């Protein structure tokens, strides 16, 4: 949700300065060595943003308030102008990267590309709950899904062909104190939302993000194998004409980037410090105990989610992520990471008039679109890591998977860096100055990256 009272000058200044720096300092020529170029896509960059070399660092993000005021991030968004263009037909190239808390992050193994022919990503069709747990992606208590809307034999197959639904969910870790696995709720929620999108028999534009969240939640409540738990969620429905509806509940969120500028960001919903809005399943026994001893459980519903409508254009990048990202990186950090990769790969071009979208975007976002541009350096961590050579390091390497792995990898690094205060640390210092919290916040991490592509575009825009 974008508050109309928020100033736009912060985003405007960052946009103009960042675009000017890209053109002036030639960020697109960071490295011409193919081996260095390949490895640099998955590592923290030292980019020349001025006359000296500086490391990309996070800035302050104010997100939580003990007085129960709405949370906010300190990076302002430009105003969004919604419009409908019947002639516009976009397809969406989607990839996911995730890493469980305390697990080693593999930039290639932990990246997943969405194939529309496969119907869904990040869900299990196994009816056995034990098998479902065993086959979950490496995302810990975080979960994700990406699904086409409608099946291939639907009456609306033509109109729903390029429509996709996607989202993330973050299981509330506090349920572990009650001997409940929070991952059961979050993964179950994503699984049911994906199933709802897949079996949708009406036109895709009738599937609303909040209704999708409600359908998933209702099925979780009815699932006897999920006896308790809670989760935040951020869900999106993207249509071929560029319209995207986003529903956000809790401190997961979304950021929309366009040509080196932030055009939208979601505002976290919280009851207090580190207490986000959350969907919950509370057993009757626990409710009875609460009524006897006093107190109440946090229990929010899909109707409480904030809904935002955005209009994506060719070359736009939409990021949906859990708080494992936003607690360690702010919007400006994400903007710098995405801009550096988009310019380095040639997806965005730097001209005297500003940043544009390259005519090669369609090819770069296609399956194995970056395979030829990514020769694995001999002796590099990518070549030595068995996890990256099981199916070949270049298999399935796309622009969107590189962006997802870059964001997840940088969030992972920041989460364990005790010398680098992330947004969560700064927030903790603000409200608890006596308990001086330092560094990042170790957590599960999940990132969904969506790139809008107009296949009919053949020239720079």
For residue 388, pLDDT beyond 70: no
Alpha carbons 122 and 446: distance in angstroms, whole number: 11
Please give the sequence-ordered ranges of beta strands (E in DSSP) within 358-444, or none if there are none. none
How far is C-alpha 373 from the chain's CA centre?
Answer: 25
HEC letters along 230-250: EEEEEEEEECCCCEEEEEEEC
pLDDT of residue 458: 54
Q: Contact 411/328 with Cβ under 8 angstroms?
A: yes
For residue 386, pLDDT beyond 80: no
Spatial neighbors of 144 by CB under 8 A, at least 6 apart, are 96, 98, 121, 122, 137, 166, 167, 168, 169, 190, 446, 448
Span of 21-25, 165-169, 328-332, 446-450 with lowest mean pLDDT: 21-25
Q: Contact 141/173 with Cβ under 8 angstroms?
A: yes
Domain 9-367+399-453 in CATH 3.60.40.10? The answer is yes
For residue 76, pLDDT beyond 70: no
pLDDT tens sequence across 182-236: 999 999 999 999 999 999 999 999 999 999 999 999 999 999 999 999 999 999 9
Tally of CA atoms within 13 A in the half-sphere of 156 that contains its CB: 17
Average pLDDT over every residue of 41-57: 37
CA angle 356/358/359 to nearest 5° reads 135
Confidence category of residue 19, pLDDT binned at 50, 70, 90: low
pTM: 0.81
Question: Does an H or E element contain 281, and which?
Answer: strand 279-281
Q: Contact 158/108 with Cβ under 8 angstroms?
A: no
Alpha carbons 186 and 204: distance in angstroms, whole number: 24
For the chain, what percent of residues have pLDDT higher than 90? 56
pLDDT of residue 55: 32
């Amino acid at each position: 949700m974008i508050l109309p009272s928020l100033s736009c000058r912060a985003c405007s200044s960052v946009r103009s300065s960042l675009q000017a720096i890209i053109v002036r300092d030639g960020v697109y020529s960071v490295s011409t060595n193919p081996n260095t170029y390949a490895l640099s896509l998955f590592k923290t960059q030292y980019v020349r943003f001025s006359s000296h070399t500086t490391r990309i660092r996070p800035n302050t993000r104010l997100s939580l308030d003990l007085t129960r005021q709405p949370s906010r991030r300190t990076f302002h968004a430009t105003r969004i102008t919604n419009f409908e263009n019947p002639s516009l037909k976009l397809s969406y190239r989607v990839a996911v990267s995730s890493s469980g808390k305390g697990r080693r992050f593999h930039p290639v193994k932990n990246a997943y590309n969405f194939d529309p022919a496969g119907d869904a990503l990040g869900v299990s069709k196994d009816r056995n709950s034990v098998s479902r747990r065993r086959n979950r992606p490496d995302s810990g208590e975080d979960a994700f899904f990406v699904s086409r809307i409608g099946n291939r034999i639907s009456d609306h197959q033509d109109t729903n062909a390029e429509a996709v639904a996607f989202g993330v969910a973050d299981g509330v870790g506090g349920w572990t104190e009650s001997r409940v696995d929070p991952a059961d709720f979050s993964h179950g929620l994503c699984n049911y939302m994906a199933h709802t999108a897949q079996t949708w028999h009406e036109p895709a534009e009738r599937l609303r993000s909040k209704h999708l969240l409600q359908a998933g939640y209702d099925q979780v409540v009815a699932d006897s194998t999920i006896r308790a738990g809670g989760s935040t969620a951020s869900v999106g429905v993207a249509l071929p004409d560029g319209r995207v509806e986003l529903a956000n509940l809790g401190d997961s969120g979304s950021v929309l980037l366009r040509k080196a500028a932030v055009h939208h960001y979601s505002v976290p919903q919280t009851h207090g410090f580190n207490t986000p809005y959350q969907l919950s399943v509370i057993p009757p026994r626990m409710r009875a105990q609460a009524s006897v001893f006093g107190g109440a459980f946090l229990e929010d519903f899909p109707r409480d989610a904030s809904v935002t409508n955005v209009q994506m254009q060719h070359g736009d990048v939409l990021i949906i992520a859990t708080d494992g990202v936003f607690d360690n990186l702010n919007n400006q950090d994400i903007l710098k990471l995405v801009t550096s990769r988009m310019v380095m790969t040639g997806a965005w071009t730097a001209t005297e008039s500003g940043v544009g979208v390259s005519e090669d975007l369609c090819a770069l976002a296609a399956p194995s679109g970056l395979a030829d541009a990514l020769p694995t350096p001999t002796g590099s961590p990518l070549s030595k890591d068995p996890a990256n050579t099981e199916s070949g390091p270049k298999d399935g390497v796309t622009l969107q998977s590189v962006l997802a792995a870059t964001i997840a990898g940088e969030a992972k690094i920041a989460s364990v860096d005790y010398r680098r205060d992330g947004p969560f640390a700064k927030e903790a210092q603000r409200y608890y100055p006596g308990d001086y919290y330092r560094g990042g916040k170790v957590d599960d991490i999940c990132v969904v990256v969506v790139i809008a592509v107009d296949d009919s575009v053949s020239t720079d825009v």
